[in-house]
Amino acid sequence: MAKKRKIAAVMGNGHIGLVEEDVPTVRPGTVLLEVWNSLVSPGTEVGGWRGLKQQLEKPSQNPKPRPFGYSNAGVVLEVGDGVTEFKAGDRVAGVGGGYAMHTDYALVPHNLCVALPANVSFAQGSYAMLAATAMHALRRGEPQFGEFVAVVGLGLVGQLAARLHQLAGGYVIGWDMIPFRSKVAKGWGIDAVAVVGAEDEVAITNDFTCGYGLDGAVFAFGGDGTRALESVRKCLKCTSDGHRMGRIVVVGGANFDYKFGLTNADLREASRTGPGYHDEEWEVGPAYPPTVMRWTTRTNLELCMRLMSEGKVNVDCLTTHTIPLADVDARIAEILKDPDAILGVVFEMKR
């Protein structure tokens, strides 16, 4: 096995470079992976594709490398003491900041790993982190069968949240300012879309709900969401005395200049992939008792892999670019010429 590994790193000048360091040593409760694919989460990892392009055009004066990535898939090389569910040669996906990076070798806590079904590829498995993030957002919103839901922001998490709400029995409309993302959502079966800024999202949504109004919404983007919140509140179902009702889940880090009014709307936050993530004792130790905590990061990951295996979540529809890790800087610079045409970017590690 190699002694060194290469890790993708964001430079202060907007470039993506590769840094080299020692392959980490296996510790108790961890799994060493030979990584085949990883997925970029642009909003949290590179400040969004538009933001990365701006960095290239106006470089920072501090180009210190920042290794990044938190969702990959590969083959188990070695397991640490206490790991009984995986062995060398197993195909798994791994998640976690500082663990499942864009690298050829990754050391990941065993409870942040999940077995890949035989018909799920490494590239598909690399969607694990964002799929589980969308799954946890759905659980936070507590949707009921047949409800109307708007997903605001059709990046990767938004696309996945929209599909999962459909699988949970909801009717889903997606909102985004980028027409390409709306086209992707419509293409892989999301019920309806609205291009914010080019269309009247409130009127389209009210028509979509047959005048009943939204039961809930998911905000899956970062930055100022004040205007979007105002529009969503206009679409929520309304009581006879004018009170808006519904559940709004914020998963993408949006912030609001929030004004309380005469509503019965709930504003909820959804953090990460579910219980367990960032609990270091759980990550490398025993699982929570399933009768007490049925849905954790690990069980959310397992369900996401099952849905991919059964063809119910087709992440291939979201992948717009596959880039060899060795060519990452040149290829990223090339696709940044049209950042609005980028959605799922999967890195592949050449052997």
Residue 41 maps to which CATH number? 3.90.180.10
Contacts of 27 (CB under 8 A, 6+ apart): 80, 107, 284
User: Higher model confidence: residue 12 or residue 288?
Assistant: 288
Question: Do 175 and 105 share a structural domain?
Answer: no
Q: Which residues contact 59 (CB under 8 A, 6 or more apart)?
A: 12, 13, 14
Please give the average per-residue pLDDT across 78-86, as a whole number: 98
Residues 89 and 35 in one domain: yes
Task: Determine the average pLDDT of the residues in 134-150.
Answer: 98
Q: What is the pLDDT confidence band of residue 61, given thresholds at 50, 70 and 90? A: low
- The residue-averaged pLDDT of 159-183 equals 98
pLDDT at residue number 63: 67
Residue in the structure block whose two tokens are 């004040």: 226
Q: What's the total number of domains in the chain? A: 2
Q: Are residues 230 and 308 in the same domain?
A: no
Q: Comparing 271 with 244, which gets the higher pLDDT?
A: 244
Distance CA 137, CA 117 (A): 24
Domain residue limits at 256 = 134-269
Same domain for 243 and 170, yes or no, is: yes
Of 250, 269, 288, which residue constitutes the final position of a domain?
269
**Domain CATH number, residue 207:** 3.40.50.720
Q: List strand residue ranges (DSSP E) for the chain, in order.
A: 4-10, 16-22, 30-39, 66-67, 71-79, 91-95, 105-109, 113-115, 148-152, 171-176, 192-195, 216-219, 223-224, 237-238, 244-250, 254-255, 263-269, 319-324, 344-348
pTM for the model: 0.95
Contact 124, 316 (CB under 8 A): yes
Average pLDDT in the chain: 94
Q: Are residues 95 and 110 both part of a single domain?
A: yes
Dihedral sign computed on CA atoms, order 19, 21, 26, 28: negative
The partner residues of 324 in beta bridges, in order of sequence, read 348
Q: Which of 253, 269, 285 is the last residue of a domain?
A: 269
Q: Which of 264, 195, 256 is nearest to 226 (CA)?
A: 256
261 with 143, same domain: the answer is yes
Same domain, residue pair 108 and 157: no
What is the spatial distance between Cα 340 and Cα 13, in angstroms, rounded to a whole number? Answer: 21
Domain check: are 97 and 182 in the same one? no
User: Is residue 351 pLDDT above 60, yes or no?
Assistant: no
| Statement to judge: residues 51 and 151 lie in one domain | no
Cα–Cα distance for residue pair 258/45, rounded to 1 Å = 27
Pick the residue with more confidence: 257 or 118? Answer: 118
Share of the chain above pLDDT 90, in %: 84
Structure tokens at 210: 């047959």
In the prediction, which pLDDT does 1 show?
75
Residue 254 identity (one-letter amino acid): A
At 196 the three-state DSSP class reads: strand
Residues 201 and 258 in one domain: yes
Domain final residue pick, 237, 269, 301: 269
What is the mean predicted confidence (pLDDT) over 302-325? 97
Residues 116 and 163 in one domain: no
Domain co-membership, 265 together with 179: yes
